[in-house]
Amino acid sequence: MRTKQTAIGAALAALALLCALFATTASAAPAWKFEGKSLEGTETILGAATESSMTIPGLTTKCENFLYKIKIKNEGGTGKGEVTELPLYNCTTNTKNCVVTAIAAQKLPWAAHLATFSSSNYVVIEGVNVSIEYGNEACVFYETIVNVTGSAGGIVNNETETATFNATTLSASKTELKALSSKIEWNGVFPTEAFEWHREQAISVS
């Protein structure tokens, strides 16, 4: 009888330890913060890169104004959100043979969440879908709708209040963007700020 009670006691102790470990893991998830305090309710943040580019093998498309607007919240101790707008302006290519006749985000909103990889915090955007149409008959992609799809992870820098997307951050966050069955690169640094209740407050992720 004593042996049975001891076994039950050991099992309960192990269960309690497991629950504690899960609780620790959950509390360690990155969250949105303003002035060092966890966000309560929702907020809208705007990331604006002065220049950002997407590279399909053989062609780079660069936009002078590349913005994203994300509605954010903390849920279960983890930062989440959704990209509601992605306006793209003044887009050109690295060859005179191809001009951008149309470019737009599709199927918004896109889900977003915060995650930690190798002790660094990232904002991960899922369901990315951008369509690009190129003009000029000499362009290899003439009259072809190029759809950039997949997911993208950008590393967050609290000191500069930026999110940076490039080949290294996509690889580290286990995300990937594709177009025409090929892996593509996205490069951009996005200074980010609150757009509603927390204007001019320092934004961070931890």
Interval 93-107: pLDDT, tens: 999 999 999 999 999
Helix (H, G, I), strand (E, B) or coil at 199: coil
Token output for 154: 């950008």
User: From CA 36, how far away is CA 73, in angstroms rounded?
Assistant: 15
Q: Which residue has the tokens 């996509």?
A: 170
Q: Are residues 5 and 37 in the same domain?
A: no
Q: Are the C-beta atoms of residues 108 and 125 closer than 8 Å to each other? A: no
Record the pTM: 0.84
Token output for 99: 């001009």
Q: Are residues 26 and 43 in the same domain?
A: no
Q: Are residues 67 and 4 in the same domain?
A: no
Q: Are residues 12 and 107 in the same domain?
A: no
Helix (H, G, I), strand (E, B) or coil at 30: coil
162 Rama sector, left if φ>0, alpha if ψ -120 to 50, beta otherwise:
beta
pLDDT tens for each residue of 154-186: 999 999 999 999 999 999 999 999 999 999 999
Q: Are residues 179 and 88 in the same domain?
A: yes
Which residues constitute the domain of residue 4? 1-30
Q: How many structural domains is the chain composed of?
A: 2
